[in-house]
């Protein structure tokens, strides 16, 4: 039994042939680059590639397996050197019950299962070769087929204002859209943590996952979790979600929610903070705002406390820490090897020897959630105040 660093939400920007998959994803966000970045730079042992339904991605995965000796684990997932690749798909649901689009994550154990899912999905989306496509069908229909294939079903970034389960509109319960018995976990998103999510009583039965939703290589592992398993496989991940056979999520690592792009209610035009009762922005006069996750959860609140959970540890990505530019970042990596080593293991004195006392202090303060943060909103990230 070991602890593994896991990020379950990483997009493909381009295939090997240069075809776009996630339109907003970076061109460098390719399958081989993801595997290399995850293992060599970030220090992850398991990644969820959630555009694996795309036929070109599946073909590339099989080619890479032949060329590099990657093999499918008997218990699911593809062993790609030091990283296990989980085959996932992000799908947008919109039907008569949704009152707005919802993104969900699906994970399947094998290439064969994902190919079968891809064929099924192909008849229900306009373009099977692109990411996060709208499925013409119901959420329950999708859930049922995923379960027939032995898969996992997870609502994605569940509270963000756009394309999420609870984000906006009049929807107040997941039962309006999904079968609650066919949900395996809830993804928190960058603007919420476990305590915030536990204000919704119907979520108390589910584990929470914290993932990067990476659209570029540097964004991988900006949120992640440590999972205790016998091996980094699909079957062991499933056991961890259900706390079976001593497998479990040990800790969630993610943004202080105030760093997220949609934490506070803010002006749609200039991102200045607003109250939901404001008729106009005091800064620019614009009359519309984007309701923040904090205020939306206050509206939905049905509980004060939740069940015992793994700790949610505020993790500030190195790129957010003032003073860590490209040269300093590369210097730290050359010395310590991976981001996980810098963020979890290196002492303040060790970091100071490489990057100076001021940056070392900021990194250590970031570990303990003691940095001052200016909250984000309306699509603009929060900021760390330098000391």
Closest CA to 42 of 188, 287, 221, 183: 221
Residue-level pLDDT at 333: 95
Domains of the chain: 2-257 (3.20.20.140), 318-377 (1.10.150)
Q: What is the DSSP string of 15-60?
A: -TT--BSSTTS-TT--HHHHHHIIIIII--SEEEETBTTSHHHHHH
Q: Are 260 and 381 in contact (CB under 8 A)?
A: yes
- pTM as predicted: 0.95
Give the total residue count for the chain. 387
321 DSSP β-pair partners = none
Going residue by residue through the chain (387 aa), what tens digit of pLDDT does each one get?
999 999 999 999 999 989 999 999 999 999 999 999 999 999 999 999 999 999 999 999 999 999 999 999 999 999 999 999 999 999 999 866 667 899 999 999 999 999 999 999 999 999 999 999 999 999 999 999 999 999 999 999 999 998 999 987 778 899 999 999 999 999 999 999 999 999 999 999 999 999 999 999 999 999 999 999 999 999 999 999 999 999 999 999 998 999 999 999 999 999 999 999 999 999 999 999 999 999 999 999 999 999 999 999 988 888 888 889 999 999 999 999 999 999 889 999 999 999 999 999 989 888 777 788 889 999 999 988 755
Query: Which secondary-structure segment (H or E) carries 88?
Result: strand 83-93
Cα–Cα distance, 199 to 304 (Å, whole number): 6
Cα–Cα distance, 162 to 182 (Å, whole number): 23
Q: What is the DSSP string of 245-261?
A: TT-EEEEEEE--GGGST
Cα–Cα distance, 253 to 294 (Å, whole number): 19
């Amino acid at each position: 039994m070991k602890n593994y660093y896991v990020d379950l939400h990483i997009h493909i920007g381009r295939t090997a042939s240069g075809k776009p998959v996630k339109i907003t994803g970076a061109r460098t966000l390719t399958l081989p680059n993801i595997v290399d970045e995850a293992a060599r730079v970030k220090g992850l042992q398991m990644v969820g590639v959630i555009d694996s339904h795309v036929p070109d991605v599946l073909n590339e995965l099989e080619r890479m397996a032949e060329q590099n000796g990657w093999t499918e684990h008997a218990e699911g997932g593809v062993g790609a050197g030091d990283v296990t690749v989980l085959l996932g798909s992000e799908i947008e649901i919109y039907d008569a019950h949704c009152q707005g689009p919802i993104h969900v994550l699906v994970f399947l154990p094998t290439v064969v299962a994902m190919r079968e899912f891809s064929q099924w999905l192909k008849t229900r989306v306009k373009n099977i070769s692109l990411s996060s496509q709208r499925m013409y069908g119901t959420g329950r229909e999708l859930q049922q087929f995923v379960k027939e294939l032995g898969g996992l079903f997870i609502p994605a970034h569940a509270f963000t204002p756009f394309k999420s389960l609870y984000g906006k509109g009049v929807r107040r319960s997941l039962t309006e859209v999904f079968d609650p018995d066919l949900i395996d976990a809830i993804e928190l998103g960058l603007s919420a943590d476990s305590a915030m999510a536990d204000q919704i009583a119907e979520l108390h039965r589910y584990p929470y996952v914290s993932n990067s939703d990476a659209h570029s290589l540097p964004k991988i592992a900006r949120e992640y979790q440590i999972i205790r398993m016998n091996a980094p496989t699909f079957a062991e991940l499933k056991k961890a979600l259900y706390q079976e056979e001593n497998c479990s999520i040990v800790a969630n690592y993610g943004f202080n929610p105030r760093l997220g792009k949609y934490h506070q209610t803010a002006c749609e035009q200039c991102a200045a903070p607003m109250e939901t009762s404001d008729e106009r922005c005091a800064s620019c006069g614009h009359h519309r705002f984007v309701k923040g996750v904090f205020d939306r959860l206050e509206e939905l609140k049905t509980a004060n406390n939740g069940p015992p959970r793994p700790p949610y540890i505020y993790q500030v990505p190195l790129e957010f820490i003032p003073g860590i530019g490209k040269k300093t970042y590369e210097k730290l990596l050359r010395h310590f090897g991976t981001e996980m080593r810098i963020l979890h293991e290196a002492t303040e004195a060790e970091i100071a020897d490489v990057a100076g006392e001021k940056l070392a202090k900021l990194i250590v303060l970031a570990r303990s959630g003691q940095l001052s943060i200016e909250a984000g909103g309306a699509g603009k990230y929060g900021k760390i105040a330098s000391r």
